[in-house]
Amino acid sequence: MLTIPKWCSPVGHFLVGGSRLRQCLLPAGGIRAIGVSAPQPNATDSGFRAAKTVFCGVIPTQLLCVSELIVDIFRKETGRDLEDYARNYPFERLGIHDDHWKRTPLGEVDTEGGLILPDYELAKLGELYRQLGLWRGVRLLNEDWVRDSVAPRVDLGEGYQYGYHWWLVPYDQGSHHAWSGLGFGGQYVFVMPEDGIVAVATGWAILDPKYNEQTVLDKLRTAGNPPQTS
């Protein structure tokens, strides 16, 4: 299992002040921009140059600019390429072989949202979390880390919370939260621990609010817990 060390170093025009890597899994992540609005062509740090934007004013963009730096932090601390590590450790052990991770024009892994998996492979990641880090009886993730990852840390309003790169989406009138990976246009992985459900949804419902994540979750819960008939 990977130990997450302290990391404190200037990154381009960013400062990471005494943060742990896990803080980069939250909006803003302890990172503040200093008087810039776009990467500079002559920047020397690959993580900074790979960032698409540097604005950190709203949650989606905060996640983008911070997540894009994780690959560079990972390489500096471990000396390894993140995709190479993923394929040779967690993906190999989970039997994930049908994957693609797009890269930035600079050749870095796109950690703000470039991992492409078919539904049956993505469901394995959800099941790993539902089992709190176990896969077929073998521990791949520390249970404390899994619980920390899905603990609410940022209140996004309307019942939504955010953990370490996990959205906590309310359903059943807010009485439960699903650990959720929410992709663009309706690409979802849901872990519903109280109901024992892992589900993956694919789609392209960009402008159709009928198919938002709460609607999908309520339908899943109804299907998984059908009403009892006498």
The residue that leads in pLDDT, 17 or 99, is 99
Give the separation between CA 71 and CA 29, rounded to whole angstroms.
Answer: 15
> Is residue 184 packed enough to be buried (19+ CB in 10 Å), middle (13-18) or exposed (0-12)?
exposed
| pLDDT > 90 in the chain, percent | 33
For residue 56, pLDDT beyond 50? no
How many alpha carbons lie under 13 Å from residue 207 in its C-beta half-sphere? 0
Instruction: Report the chain's mean pLDDT, rounded to a whole number.
Output: 74
Confidence at residue 17, expressed as pLDDT on a 0 to 100 scale: 40
Unique residue bearing structure tokens 């008939």: 229
Give the separation between CA 216 and CA 211, rounded to whole angstroms.
Answer: 7
Question: What single-letter DSSP state applies at residue 69?
Answer: H
Q: pLDDT-based confidence at 59, cuts 50/70/90?
A: very low
For residue 219, pLDDT beyond 70? yes
Query: For 108-165, what is each residue's pLDDT tens digit?
Result: 888 877 888 899 999 999 999 999 999 999 999 999 999 999 999 888 888 999 998 8
Confidence at residue 31, expressed as pLDDT on a 0 to 100 scale: 45
| Section 40-67 average pLDDT | 38
pTM for the model stands at 0.74
